Amino acid sequence: METEKIKQKISSLIKGDEKISLLQNFLAIISYLGVLSLLVMILKEKSKPVHFHVKQGVVLFVTEIICTLILAIPFIGWIIGFIGWILCILFSVLGLIQAAKGKEWPIPFLGKIATKIKI
């Protein structure tokens, strides 16, 4: 049984399937919490999974700002801004959950924009 675990470990090292550290996982998680995504971006963590989540967190934060500005428009802006905010909260929670699991989940529509950001 123990040799099987060792073989799997060696196999994952050869393939490059690295597990991210606890700090990197924490940084990926907090990157979905609004302005904290900018803080994580400033830290310039060199981990590819962290970069993925930071980019998405920054795009979500900018989208939240845009939704807030749209809320200033009477009637139609209130509806559009409210729906936008609900979607931002939903995507933040889903992204946070996926980051906690160590998975990369591209946010619908915004994920394509996030891939174009250079850090």
In-domain check, residue 14: no
Q: Supply 87's token pair.
A: 């979607």
Q: Are 96 and 36 in contact (CB under 8 A)?
A: no
Q: Identify the H or E element spanning 109.
A: none
12 within some domain: no
Domain housing 82: 20-115
- In-domain check, residue 15: no
pTM, full prediction: 0.75
Cβ proximity of 25 and 100 under 8 Å? yes
* Number of domains forming the structure of the chain: 1
42-59 residue pLDDT tens: 887 777 888 889 999 999
**Average of per-residue pLDDT across 6-18:** 51
**Residue from 69, 99, 97, 98 nearest 84 by CA:** 69
What is the mean pLDDT of the segment spanning 98-117? 88
Q: Give 18-31 pLDDT, tens digit per residue.
A: 566 888 888 888 99
